[in-house]
Structure 1
Amino acid sequence: MIIVGRIGHPYGILGWIHIVSFTEIKKNIFSYFPWILEKSRINLYKNDMIMYRKHRDQFIIKLKNIDNRNQTLNFIKQNILIKSNQLPILNNQEYYWHNILYCHIFNLKNKKIGLVTEILENKIYNTLKIFTIKNSKYIYIPFIQPDIIKKIDINNKIIIIS
């Protein structure tokens, strides 16, 4: 299961709910149904949603049979999960972030540096947050291929850096 978004707080009094999309193209979250809500294990299918619309930098949705703010409380503050086989197959040298998480980082001399614990997105380049083995601290490595990230072996969960 992969987290592709989060159900946010209610919007207004008529049962609309905020959706935070974690997909690279935010609107793509609506291409991956069914959604499984993490805490309640409720399945939401495309036909459960009456409509969605852009609201600021995210979205709001209107679900069937949810007509007021109180009815949204069963849905809010839950991660939206999908099965990994719902994602499109990628080309060579393309990766989903969930494949990069928890990869072991080695340098070119095959010395283990640490473990990828988080991926931070910014406007210039993405950054890997690495928990180091040596001193139990975090370091940050830019995800720049091939200058810094030399090799990625998803099957063995290994990343080689310079």
Structure 2
Amino acid sequence: MINISINIPEKPLLIGKVGKSYGVLGWINIFSFTEKKDAIFNYLPWFFFKEKKWKKVQIENWKKYKNHFIVNIKGISDRSITEKFTNSDIIISKHALPLLKKNDYYWHDIINYKVFNTDQRYLGNVINLIRTKNNDILVVKNKSDIFKKNILIPFIENKIIKNVDTKNKFIFVQWN
């Protein structure tokens, strides 16, 4: 039997970004992209990805610091080593996320869903989601080549977003 160490994630998912080193003992700043910022520590192990290179890391300790976190990586106690990780993406394997109940979904799951208005007119495919202070926004690639602009639809459930069909990968919206 071959024993293979997993040093790259399966089904990679971006959850944060590495900032600059903090102090001289090898701590480093990190910025969480998770909805609840400290939930980033629930999804382990982390993989740092920079310049097409992967580095699997284990977190030894972490602290909240201003509007982000500082972490100590297991086995690293030197600033010169952590400086190499600055601007790395923090990636996890998708299977590290908790399983969801039926009809629940993660934001990344609805990318490429087809969007229809309540008149059954096809509007396009979801290509991105934007987080704003007031509500999230669906970015839909307009099906018509005439307009060349994406459609931005506020993600307000029951009012604008009428149904997210996870089985068929459709989203129905109150939109013209």
Q: TM-score, normalised by structure 2?
A: 0.80
- Report percent identity of matched pairs: 36
Q: Is 1:20 aligned to 2:53, yes or no?
A: no
Aligned length: 159
User: Aligned-pair RMSD on alpha carbons?
Assistant: 1.8
* Deviation at residue 59 of structure 1 after TM alignment: 0.4
Q: Does the CA contact (< 8 Å) of 2:115 and 2:122 recur in 1?
A: yes
Q: Is 1:156 aligned to 2:159, yes or no?
A: no
SS of aligned partner of 2:54: coil
* Deviation at residue 64 of structure 1 after TM alignment: 3.0
* Deviation at residue 128 of structure 1 after TM alignment: 1.1
Paired with 1:108 and 1:77, the residues of 2 have a C-alpha distance of 43
Tell me what 2:98 maps to: 88
SS of aligned partner of 1:67: coil
- Which structure's CA Rg is the greater one? 2
Residue-by-residue CA offset, 1:86-144 (whole Å, 9 max, x unaligned)? 11122344321111222221112322212222211223221112221212202211111
SS of aligned partner of 1:141: strand
| Residue ranges of structure 1 left out of the alignment (5+ in a row) | none
Q: Does the CA contact (< 8 Å) of 2:103 and 2:165 recur in 1?
A: no
Q: TM-score, normalised by structure 1?
A: 0.86
Paired with 1:91 and 1:3, the residues of 2 have a C-alpha distance of 22
Tell me what 1:74 maps to: 84
Find runs of 4+ consecutive structure 1 residues off by over 4 angstroms: none
Tell me what 1:56 maps to: 66
Q: 1:156–1:81: structure 2 CA closer, same or farther, 3 Å change rule?
A: farther
